[in-house]
Amino acid sequence: MRNVLLIHGGAGSDPSYSGRLNSYASFASEEISALDNAVKAVVKMEDDPDFNAGTGSVPRLDGSIQMDAAVMIPGHFGSVINIERVKNPVLVARDVMAKSPHIMISGDGAVKFARLMGYPDYDPTTEKAKKLLQQFEEEAEKNEIPDKFKIYFKYVKPHDTVGAVARVEGEFAGAVSTGGSFPMVRGRVGDSPIPGAGIYVGEKGAVVATGIGEEIAKNILSFRIYNRIGEKRLYDIVKEEVDKFSVSVGIIAVDEKDYAYYANRPMAVGIKEF
């Protein structure tokens, strides 16, 4: 069975970005391990301001940028939650897995850990992020909306993560990174940094989710799909599970024999078989 790296730009992302993602997948596939492939691809997307991760992250309602990221291989997991002022959260998540006794580090603790690991201060705030927040605040004021929680699902942007799954020489790995779902309060956590929700990798394969994190997490979507691997064709499993949702959801997955992707919204994907 050929090696494969499959990446996505988020449920709701512009499908015209797929060509760019194919190039990122080709670039990342030069690495020799499944984890290296997945992480390198996510770093490329974190550095691309068109995607909601790293430099392209959306703001919180207080104007801050807080990001989540996770990596996973069979039996090992690492994530950072609400990390700030780093360029590539996925690299910090990998260090949590490989260089710490923990599996999750959050908030200021995640920032301190990143500095300990040698990651310099970096402000991911872009003019696009500032404009997004300004437009929302102007609309909320215009429509006299006092409780912004009540309009979360009306205004939430449909694409909220980037992710990768890889099968290389029989090994599986996954990686995810996100700037969150705008509009959100400071401290909000979605599905991406939670094992079994936004990501799950085991001996049978790798699954990564994208979409409305609250719904994905409540349904433990990635583990549900992983647990069904081998039941039928991988694409059929993924489609059946995604079609249960009315909100924006997408999945990329790989098993021993196949790979699959499906979303109930447009979704840019990149694929490299090698």
Question: Catalytic residue numbers?
Answer: 161
Q: Read out DSSP for 51-79?
A: SSSGGGPPPPTTS---EEEEEEETTEEEE
In total, the chain counts a number of residues equal to: 274
Q: Is 190 marked as a binding-site residue?
A: yes
**210 annotated among ligand-binding-site residues:** yes
Is 212 annotated as ligand-binding?
Answer: yes
Q: Is 188 annotated as a binding residue?
A: yes
The sheet carrying 259-263 orders its strands as: 199-202, 205-211, 249-255, 259-263
Q: Is 189 annotated as a binding residue?
A: yes
**CB-CB neighbours of 187 under 10 Å:** 13
Closest CA to 46 of 107, 122, 98: 122
**What is the spatial distance between Cα 116 and Cα 139, in angstroms, rounded to a whole number?**
41
Going across the sheet that includes 67-73, the strands are 104-106, 76-83, 67-73, 171-178, 162-168, 4-11, 267-273
How many Cβ atoms sit within 10 Å of the Cβ of residue 41? 31
> Could you tell me which residues are annotated as the binding site for substrate?
188-191, 210-213
> Could you tell me which residues are annotated as the binding site?
188-191, 210-213
